[in-house]
Amino acid sequence: MIRRWLILICLFIPVQNCTLYAGDNGDNDKEKYVVSFLFAFPEKPIRDLPLSAPQALAIDQEGHVFVVDTGNSRLLKFDKQGNFVNAIGSFGWEREQFDRPTDITAKTGLDLFVADFNNERIERYDLKLNYLSTFRSEETVQNSLRFGFPSGVDISRHGELFICDNENDRILKLNTTGSPDLSFGDFNWGDGQLEHPVRVEVSRKDQVYVSDQGLNQIFVFDYYGNYISRFGQEILNNPTGLNWSIDNRLYVADSGNQRVVAFNARHLPIHMWGQEGDKFGAFSNPVDVATFDNQVYVLDSSNNRIQVFKLGKRENHK
């Protein structure tokens, strides 16, 4: 695999050559962070095909990395060092086929759930990439509980699925049997009305985070769809994938600004890094982010690669 070391240090200001945006801890003490570039993968085509506009990644509890290779209509599996393990998929609408897959979640430690956008379904696989089942909306279900063109999917610690319903600009929840339970965030949701939701992340505290590219903000709802708050305005531009880390940071792929932004538990930005380019540490349309073992995996879509970083906090500077 490709390995380089790149150290980035700064104090809450962007640096043009290799950007890190470190944050304020809330009482005006400046915190310094160091971002270390570790490696990028894959370094060669997978089964004779290079990555093509990949749109999502997820990491299971063992550290295996699953990548939605959207342009090639397939799902790839790597180990945590970036070595290729397995792949499935081709263009189509049958089992183990996809038409513009856009998201994936691997939180349960048992299953994968893939948002198959143009096929208007959620596909379920085991961690060895064996097909298990399909979730789709039936015409017999009332309109408020249907979904179309799913752009995002996540699963809660209770085993319930949350889906970004791109057709209706809302979130739909499926219960543990796969039946639709409720929808929220649509045109009659007041301050919680979504404009163009693309990804969803359910936190360990059962709060639902939604990246909205229409409003360039992250929306927060409780587990039952009640609106709580929103944040990221004047910071984010075209936010896409988002992921809560084990140390309680929310990492967001800030695609329009070609960077990654991390927020703390109070939804304040604490650091960010990246700039447009193809060198290590730079991005071209970063669309997703995942964390494992104190490392941050960034899906650098237009550069057709995954970049892996390690982020550490250094001493405070007053």
**For the residues 75-87, what does the mean pLDDT come to?**
97
What's the pLDDT score for residue 124? Answer: 98
Q: For the residues of the chain, what is the DSSP string, one character each? A: -EEEEEEEEESSS--SSS-EEE-B-SSS-EEEEEEEEEEEE--S-BTTB---S--EEEE-TT--EEEEEGGGTEEEEE-TTS-EEEEE--BSSSTT-BSSEEEEE-TTSSEEEEEETTTTEEEEEETT--EEEEE---TTS-GGG---SEEEEEE-TTS-EEEEETTTTEEEEE-TTS-EEEEESSTTSGGG--SSEEEEEE-TTS-EEEEETTTTEEEEE-TTS-EEEEE-TTT-SSEEEEEE-TTS-EEEEEGGGTEEEEE-TTS-EEEEE--BSSSTT-BSSEEEEEEETTEEEEEETTTTEEEEEEEEEEEEE-
Average pLDDT over the chain, rounded to whole?
Answer: 90
pTM over 0.85: yes
What's the pLDDT score for residue 314? Answer: 66
Select the more confidently predicted residue: 19 or 191.
191
**For the residues 37-48, what does the mean pLDDT come to?**
96
What's the pLDDT score for residue 48? Answer: 95
Residue 304 pLDDT class (50, 70, 90 cuts): very high
**For the residues 24-45, what does the mean pLDDT come to?**
74
Q: What is the pLDDT of residues 119-144, one digit of tens each?
A: 999 999 999 999 999 999 988 889 99
Residue 208 pLDDT class (50, 70, 90 cuts): very high
pLDDT at 181 over 80: yes
Residue 242 pLDDT class (50, 70, 90 cuts): very high
